[in-house]
């Protein structure tokens, strides 16, 4: 239920075309709510039909032609209402932890290499977050908006740090 809200947020940050949104769902906003271009185009259509966003009149509405969207007041209200709504954390669904549990039953051959591979991936992601931190949040932000965005980034940093710590320990445990 959150994809439309992710899109509204991204469009409020900056009016964009579908492809631009897709690119931002591969970095920025997509670090916390991932999506594909197919889902994004479909959802843009729904949001437009529902009167939450509109296509800027700059472009002709033909296939293959760029179409920019901006958020309408109804869209901003909808987003503000969603932000105010309580919502429980999602139950965890993690394939690696599940795989480890399965490995406890059928044997853990090859798990070591897989854990090291994941460790490298998480280290790369952490490095990316650190770059963003240095580029966008040094010195520390002073506005409310900046502080909130920094908190979100730190969520990503802490999450990757958790994975790196756990994986490192798991690798040591399996070897020793």
Q: Please report, as ranges, the residues that interact with DNA according to CB under 7 A.
A: 1-3, 17-20, 22, 34-39, 41-42, 44-45, 61-68, 91, 93
- Report in angstroms how near the CB of residue 176 gets to DNA at its nearest: 34
Residues near 24 by beta carbon (within 8 Å), at least 6 away in sequence: 10, 16, 30
* Distance of alpha carbon 111 from alpha carbon 63, whole angstroms: 47
Q: Return the SS3 of 107.
A: coil
Of 51, 112, 131, 145, the one binding a copy of itself by CB under 8 A: 145
How near is the Cβ of 19 to a copy of itself at its closest, in Å? 19
Please give the torsion angle defined by the CA atoms of residues 108, 110, 113 and 115, in that order, rounded to the nearest 10 degrees. -30
What phi and psi values does residue 54 have, to the nearest 5 degrees? -145, 155
**CB of 66 or CB of 124, closer to a copy of itself:** 124
Phi, psi (5° rounding) for residue 16?
-150, 165
Minimum CB distance to DNA, residue 143 (Å) = 30
Site string for a copy of itself, 97-126 (x = CB under 8 A): xxxxxxxxxxxxxxx--x--xx--xx----
CB of 17 to DNA, least distance (A): 3
């Amino acid at each position: 239920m959150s994809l439309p809200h992710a899109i509204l947020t991204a469009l409020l940050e900056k009016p964009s075309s579908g492809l631009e949104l897709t690119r931002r769902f591969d970095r920025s906003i997509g670090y916390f709510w991932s999506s594909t271009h197919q889902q994004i185009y479909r959802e843009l259509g729904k949001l437009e039909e529902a009167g939450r966003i509109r296509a800027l009149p700059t472009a002709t509405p033909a296939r293959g032609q760029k179409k920019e969207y901006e958020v309408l007041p109804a869209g901003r209200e909808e987003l503000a209402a969603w932000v105010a709504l309580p919502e429980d954390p999602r139950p965890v669904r993690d394939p690696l932890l599940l795989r480890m549990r399965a490995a406890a039953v059928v044997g853990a051959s090859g798990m070591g290499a897989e854990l090291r591979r994941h460790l490298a991936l998480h280290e790369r992601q952490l490095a990316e977050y650190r770059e963003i931190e240095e580029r966008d949040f040094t010195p520390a932000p002073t506005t409310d908006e900046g502080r909130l965005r920094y908190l979100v980034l730190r969520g990503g940093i802490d999450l990757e740090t958790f994975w790196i710590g756990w994986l490192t320990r798991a690798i040591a445990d399996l070897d020793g």
